[in-house]
Amino acid sequence: MLGFGKKGSIDGPALDRVRDWTREHFKLTEDETVMVSEIACAVPGCPPVETHVVFWTDQGRHHFKVFKPLAEVAEDDLPPAFMKNALTWVEGVGCSCC
C-alpha cells in the first residue's frame, strides 16, 4: 500500500478484496497487473483518504479513484464495466482531477 497511512496499517484482506473485484469486474487476466493503494489528500475539498486503483491491459494504463478509505470500499463503488476504455490514461494529457 502506498500513501501516508500509519506504518503497519496495511489492510491485506481489503487490498485483496478490491484487487479481486477489479480483476473480475473488468475481466482482467492473471497476467494483467492491478495495483490498489490508499492515499491521504491534503487538497481543500478532497476527501482526507481515498483509494486509487490502477490496472494495465494491452490498451494501456487504466485508473480510477474511490473517495473513501480502502476498508470502506464496496464492490458497487467500482465504475461500470462498460467504462473500462474511458478509464485509460492518455500519456501527456493531464488533469487536476486524477
- The pLDDT value recorded for residue 42 is 85
pLDDT in tens, 1-20: 444 445 456 688 999 999 99
pLDDT in tens, 67-87: 999 999 999 999 999 999 899
- The pLDDT value recorded for residue 11 is 80
Closest CA to 69 of 53, 49, 54: 49
Instruction: State the Cα angle at 25 between 16 and 97, rounded to 5°.
Output: 85
3-state secondary structure of 42: coil
Q: Cβ atoms within 10 A of the Cβ of 90, count?
A: 9
Return the domain boundaries, the chain: 12-87
User: Is the pLDDT score of 90 beyond 80?
Assistant: no
